[in-house]
């Protein structure tokens, strides 16, 4: 990971416990809030519904009875940059894959949004 210093410690704990895919699902669902990780899971637990039983069990085993602050975004800004660097996806596709708006994708990439109404003075 190129930008480890920018990753929140709680996001890194999630990644270490359940992997990046499940961590990102947790961030999308619970971001900006505290998540209580129970000692035991029920099939109806929101965590099970979000990441599935196997990943939820891994998280419970790693951090039972823990109240964890879930960051609003984990590594998704870096993912936006990585997806853009491939040159294979449109900004719209990147927005769909990361949960950002298209305008936010342009901001993350430091590009002008073509729909912003701003004219380029150097064109």
The pLDDT of residue 1 is above 50: no
pTM of the model as a whole: 0.62
Instruction: Report how far Cα 83 is from the mean position of its chain's Cα atoms.
Output: 14
CA angle 61, 66, 34 (to 5 degrees): 125
CB atoms within 10 A of CB 55: 21
The per-residue pLDDT for range 20-71, each reduced to its tens digit, is: 889 988 988 898 899 999 999 999 999 999 999 999 999 999 999 999 999 8
The per-residue pLDDT for range 88-108, each reduced to its tens digit, is: 999 999 998 888 899 999 988
Measured distance CA(107)–CA(105) in Å, rounded:
5
pLDDT at 2 (0 to 100): 39
Are 35 and 68 spatial neighbours (Cβ–Cβ below 8 Å)?
A: yes
């Amino acid at each position: 990971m190129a930008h480890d210093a920018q990753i929140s410690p709680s996001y890194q704990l999630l990644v270490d416990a359940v992997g990046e895919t499940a961590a990102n699902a947790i961030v999308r669902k619970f971001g900006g809030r505290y998540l209580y990780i129970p000692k035991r899971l029920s099939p109806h637990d929101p965590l099970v519904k979000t990441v599935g039983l196997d990943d939820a069990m891994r998280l419970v085993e790693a951090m039972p009875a823990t109240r964890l602050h879930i960051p609003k975004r984990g590594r998704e800004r870096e993912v936006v940059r990585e997806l853009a660097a491939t040159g294979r996806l449109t900004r719209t596709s990147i927005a769909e894959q990361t949960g950002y708006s298209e305008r936010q994708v342009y901001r993350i990439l430091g590009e002008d949004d073509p729909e912003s109404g701003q004219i380029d003075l150097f064109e």
